[in-house]
Structure 1
Amino acid sequence: MALIHSRCADADPADAGVLASLSVPPDVARVPFAAELARRGERPAIVTAECVVTYRELAERVEALLLRLGTARRLVALTASNDVDSVVGYLAALAGGHPLILLPEDKPAAFDSLVAAYDPDVILRSGADGQNVLDERRKGTRHQLHPDLALLLSTSGSTGSPKLVRLSHANLQSNAESIADYLGIGEDDRTITTLPMSYCYGLSVINSYLLRGASFVLTDLSVVDSCFWELFRRHRVTSFAAVPYTFELLDRGGFADMELPSLRYITQAGGRLAPATVERYVELGRRRGWELFVMYGQTEATARMAYLPPRLAASHPGAIGIPVPGGSFRIDPLPGLEEGELVYTGPNVMLGYAQSPEDLALGRTVHELRTGDLARTDASGLYEVVGRRSRFVKIVGLRVDLGQVERILADLGMEAACAGTDEGLVVAVKGSNDLQLVAKVLAQGIGLPRASLQVCSVPEIPRLGSGKADYQGILALPQHGRVPAEPSAAQVEETGRDSVRRIFEATLELTGVNDGDTFVSLGGDSLSYVAASVRLEQLLGHLPTNWHVTPVRDLELQARTPDQPTRRSWFAPTDTSIVLRAVAIILITGTHVGLFTWPGMAHVLMAVAGFNFARFQLTGDRVPRMKRQLCSISRVVIPSVAFIAVAYVLTDRYSLANIVLLNAVIGPEEVTTQWHFWFVEVLVYLLLGMTAVLALPWVDRAERRYPLLFPLTLLAAGLTTRYDLVDPGVPNTAPALWLFALGWAVARSRTWAHRCTASVIAALSIPGFFENPARETTLLAGILVLIWLPSIPVPRGLQRLTGLLASSSLYIYLVHWLVFPAFSDFSQALAVAVSLCAGVAYWALCSHMPPLLTRALGFRRRQPGYTR
């Protein structure tokens, strides 16, 4: 994909620096790495899937927002996501000396709670036009803001607790410097966002890279998404950050087998990583040429307090390591405990907490950080955390205040007690309640995956002799008293409700679907896509964009429950490729029968085939991808060969060349009945050819690095056969490589400019192809629809039929040649209807065969614990 520099103006870099200094009164404290962006000039700062923003351009955008914020120091709240606008808003506040409350964009309840508690003067949001939306609630400020105050971060995830950490300009600068120091970050380094920037760990990555003039790729993609690794390779990323849960996803996604030559190191924080996992990844990094940095930190220390030097990780996998540069530890003894409390001192220790707006006027109230963690040192001087003194846990990298969980339920009128570990929470609720509803409310309010939360109904809250809640007893509550995060298979069967896992297992013929799996990572292709998408739309009430690369966990969270009725419209948005396949097979069959004449749709389907090849067959590493491609080809070849063999026996219309799908190459040049299956033959040639070419390592690398340029190059090669400059050697058919490649390029088009380019290519190359204006118009219209419409509204009453016809399109194409002659003399409409029904029946028969066929071909069915 071509990178487009998002030039904002033609200002000189030095001018941008002058402007930034003029926009802020000289007595206002600022964070240097945010205020001195322009001095990095034309070096790349931010990379997205669509553009590259240089440091000069970033400085200009920050300066433009600074002018809108004004010179009066005000309290700003920013709803942040991993996009350029959020980064600009964050840096503008730091550069202008405006204290900033940073909040996640996807947690509106937490945002509303904190806005109500702190009454910010300005609210910043990302805008649709690339410019921040500024909601100015007052011209000046109603707050007393301490001159050192720079940033306010939540201590309890996304619950909306009013307790915030007050960080100074010096906190942010010093911690960014120490992190950049021990990681050895240089100007040529590039990281990629794996965590939200509203999370202190994710934010510290951005800070330390900006400090050194390095760059980062902004994305919300998950590490289980193949598109994430395409971005990673294309932009030569040198590092990424991970929490313990990330490593589970990496294991599921086959990370150990990935070729990532640019990777220099992985950092880990956000909770304790199991020593066995540390050892395994240290060894993997040793073999692959990268290092693992295990780190330890808290929001109260602006992110990082300790790191474990990679050379010591293998021998001390349970340690947090040594203090970051500029920091120091001590362990204060605790009565009755062998280990003491870990206490940290350093320039990155927060100013203190804020509980209300009045606290924003406070200066430093904390000089050292009592971490609440129990720790010890070993003979080599490395620190190890062995437990927690406070009632906080970290789950999938999110710090959860157990007391806040209890307060949420108390506000709902429930008496409850909560206990937890890094594995999840157990909540005991007194009396009779709708436990499924309680679990859902808590999961959404805290921002945890439902699988990390267990809710139990108890007659009385377990208590100790002192009257305090018995948290160990709560953790040990009987398993049968807990409510599973998602309905069990038995519950689904009993209620008749579907689930995302059940849909994927049924349509992909596998078992053991995991939270981090996606439709594509599980081996889904264009044939199974139709059935899965129709059932998902019925389950969710809508079909999310890019659902096929969305983790199961995220799709499950969108699933409707019985207490969530959804108002449904008369029309359902249906994937354009599905609609085109359904419409095309009807028009093809009707044209062949003679009911009407509408030629050109078979060639539309050739472009759709290229489109789906790019979506489903170009993920993962080279060898597993090749196996999946061959398996997908077998799903075309085997039913085709089987049916044509039967047709050869029953009629005299076909030859042995048809059975082996070689008639287009060795058959007679004149058009006869042996020409009936040209589409299947050419499609198989293209799929086999692409699989063979992409099996070459250097071609595989080229496709990953240039995902749009690669199909455009194939398109250019295909046009040499379209314009008769090269003989393709397939006499019975018009050249089709260029249409397949055009569909491939459409799937890789991410921007308006890309789609315009594909449209122009189609508009210039299609006229004159058939020397039949009607046929060419059909082909051009079909491709333009594929380019510009991601979905098409289909009446809900016809949605299932549309999906059925699209799923059966290949089989209808095969069988209609034998079926319609028996009925066309009686009724052409009946001949079309019977052909469609026969094709659906053949599809239904073949749909029960894949497990047998895949085993025969050497492809194993997925079982629990098996990762493709």
Structure 2
Amino acid sequence: RRCRARTAAVPALPLLPSGKPDYPRVRTLVADGPPAQESAELIDLFADVLHLDPAHISTDATFVDLGGNSLSYVTMSVRLERALGHLPADWPRLPIRELERRPGPRPRWWRSWGTTLETSVALRALAIVLVVCSHAELFEMWGGAHILLGIAGYNFARFCLTPLSRPERFRHLRTTIAWIALPAVAWVAFALVVTDDYHLSNLLLANKFLGPHDSMTAGRLWFVEVLVWTLIGLTLLFWLPVADRLERRAPFAVAAAFLAVGMALRYDVPGLGLGHDAWFTMLAFWFFAIGWAAGKATTALQRAIVTVVLIVGVHGYFGNSLREALVTTGLVLLIWLPTVRCPAVVALAAGAIAEASLYTYLTHFQVYPLFGSHRLYGVVASVVIGIALTAVVTQVRARMRDRRLTARDPARAPALR
């Protein structure tokens, strides 16, 4: 069992009439006082994950306030659970001060083992592994990318449409888009130099708009393209004051309205007649909208409505019962089950794989073919390279932050090193 000591500065130790320490009063003072040491440790943790200056982080700030997004929350959730010994369900919106004071869950027999892992993190890790395995033909279990699209919508609701001001929302959305688009463009540019896998339209993340639609690699980056252009469109929309105000007043209703639009696309109300190609175009937006509505659902009734729409929408969509069952199960878990318990080693592995999901998705098309018929090796190498690239990028960003801080205050250089 993990225990944490708390400290608080007080003018004098409370005493009983007998002169002995008043321990109940001492405990009250410690609980009410600022947890200086623990808050400092959490501030350092937030600064490390988000690459910020610890001196500029207030204990009243939340993960969302500090610019946390769907790409950084994986690392944050895993490390925060290890630091606190538990993971509050609403931790992204809790101030740092409150995170330290929030009591852990009441002891239950099923909590006597393992650690807490957010369901969205577990699903993200599982989905990217299924994507790589299916593409490498180790086995075929399609649907992982559509689960990832639903998770992206869920995280959009949690980390982009926040109570922050409209300019701050806009800044966070721009950052999220950049975190996805820039690595994608950089990798496509590299692949264009060393292979003939892509076209210039892929460099613009616009193959679905510009073609060629009949090339062997036309659909490889469809998930990234759909996600980036969806985020760009929604960013421009919610920059409008009227749209911003409406979403703040009725967040679930707005999400449900976009889900209705998505369902109209799902049933091809515009009459585009794309058939199976619609699975990999902007018409797959309705999976994103499902996650968005799930992220804004605050009551059991709202979650039930989203679940019914999901089940109805997926039924018959792919024409493959296994694929439909996989996507439905994954997104139902996302809607109803915030966290899961698992062995600590599984949580660490899932966190690493989920955090690297973007880089794994981008690079695995060029990695697994190198192993020919050794498909398992190709899958493992794809995941490992994705994790390694993520670690390199994280380290580079950390060094860039340290250089910025050193430039502002050279006296801090030894501490940063």
TM-score by length of 2: 0.85
Partner of 2:121: 578
Q: 2:139 aligns with which of 586, 596, 609?
A: 596
Distance of 1:487 and 1:615 partners within structure 2: 26
Q: Which moved more, 1:664-673 or 1:537-546?
A: 664-673
Kept after mapping to 2: 8 A contact 1:614/1:747:
yes
Structure 1 residues 38-437: aligned runs within 5 Å: 406-407=14-15, 413-414=20-21
Partner of 2:32: 448
Letter in 1 for 2:303: R
Partner of 1:153: none
Is 2:185 the counterpart of 1:631?
A: no
Distance of 1:652 and 1:817 partners within structure 2: 12
Structure (1 or 2) with the greater helix fraction? 2
Distance of 2:227 and 2:14 partners within structure 1: 60
Give the greater-gyration-radius structure (CA): 1
CA deviation profile, 1:599-635 (whole Å, cap 9, x unmatched)? 0111011111000000000121111110110011100
Partner of 1:831: 378
Distance of 1:779 and 1:683 partners within structure 2: 17
Gap change, CA 1:622 and 1:796, over 3 Å in 2:
same
Gap change, CA 1:727 and 1:817, over 3 Å in 2:
farther
Distance of 1:689 and 1:530 partners within structure 2: 25
Deviation at 1:718, TM superposition (A): 1.3
Distance of 1:758 and 1:530 partners within structure 2: 24
Partner of 2:4: none
Distance of 1:539 and 1:684 partners within structure 2: 33
Q: Secondary structure at the match of 2:32?
A: coil
Distance of 1:547 and 1:412 partners within structure 2: 42
Deviation at 1:587, TM superposition (A): 0.8
Identity %: 38
Partner of 2:91: 547
Q: Which structure has more RCO (C-alpha within 8 Å, separation ≥ 6)?
A: 2
Gaps of 5+ in 2: 1-9, 105-109, 402-407, 409-417
Letter in 2 for 1:598: M
Distance of 1:542 and 1:853 partners within structure 2: 31
Partner of 1:752: 300
Structure 1 residues 516-531: aligned runs within 5 Å: 516-531=60-75
Gap change, CA 1:727 and 1:509, over 3 Å in 2:
farther
Kept after mapping to 2: 8 A contact 1:633/1:687:
yes
Partner of 2:349: 801
Kept after mapping to 2: 8 A contact 1:819/1:834:
yes
Structure 1 residues 759-770: aligned runs within 5 Å: 759-770=307-318
Distance of 2:44 and 2:28 partners within structure 1: 23
CA deviation profile, 1:554-579 (whole Å, cap 9, x unmatched)? 2223599xxxxxx9733212111100
Distance of 1:708 and 1:812 partners within structure 2: 32
Distance of 1:412 and 1:834 partners within structure 2: 67
CA deviation profile, 1:724-757 (whole Å, cap 9, x unmatched)? 1126899672422211111111011111111111
Q: Secondary structure at the match of 2:175?
A: helix
Distance of 1:547 and 1:786 partners within structure 2: 17
Distance of 1:595 and 1:510 partners within structure 2: 41
Gap change, CA 1:441 and 1:728, over 3 Å in 2:
farther
Distance of 2:255 and 2:39 partners within structure 1: 44
CA deviation profile, 1:375-415 (whole Å, cap 9, x unmatched)? xxxxxxxxxxxxxxxxxxxxxxxxx9x89x6236x778349
Q: 1:742 aligns with which of 279, 285, 290?
A: 290
Distance of 2:357 and 2:19 partners within structure 1: 53
Q: Following TM superposition, where does structure 1 have runs of at least 4 consecutive aligned residues deviating by more than 4 angstroms?
A: 727-732, 849-854
Is 2:159 the counterpart of 1:616?
A: yes
Q: 1:702 aligns with which of 234, 246, 265?
A: 246
Distance of 2:186 and 2:394 partners within structure 1: 14
Letter in 2 for 1:448: D
Distance of 1:657 and 1:746 partners within structure 2: 33
Is 2:198 the counterpart of 1:654?
A: yes
CA deviation profile, 1:466-487 (whole Å, cap 9, x unmatched)? xxxxxxxxxxxxxxxxxxx316
Kept after mapping to 1: 8 A contact 2:177/2:228:
yes
Q: Secondary structure at the match of 2:308?
A: helix
Distance of 1:741 and 1:701 partners within structure 2: 19
CA deviation profile, 1:799-844 (whole Å, cap 9, x unmatched)? 111100010001100111000001132x211111111001111111
Letter in 1 for 2:20: G
CA deviation profile, 1:334-390 (whole Å, cap 9, x unmatched)? xxxxxxxxxxxxxxxxxxxxxxxxxxxxxxxxxxxxxxxxxxxxxxxxxxxxxxxxx
Deviation at 1:441, TM superposition (A): 7.4
Kept after mapping to 1: 8 A contact 2:133/2:379:
yes
Distance of 2:236 and 2:19 partners within structure 1: 61
Gap change, CA 1:639 and 1:749, over 3 Å in 2:
same
Distance of 1:820 and 1:714 partners within structure 2: 37
Gap change, CA 1:725 and 1:850, over 3 Å in 2:
farther
Distance of 1:728 and 1:515 partners within structure 2: 52
Gaps of 5+ in 1: 1-399, 416-437, 452-484, 490-498, 561-566, 855-860, 862-868
Distance of 2:383 and 2:129 partners within structure 1: 8
Gap change, CA 1:680 and 1:729, over 3 Å in 2:
farther
Distance of 1:568 and 1:412 partners within structure 2: 41
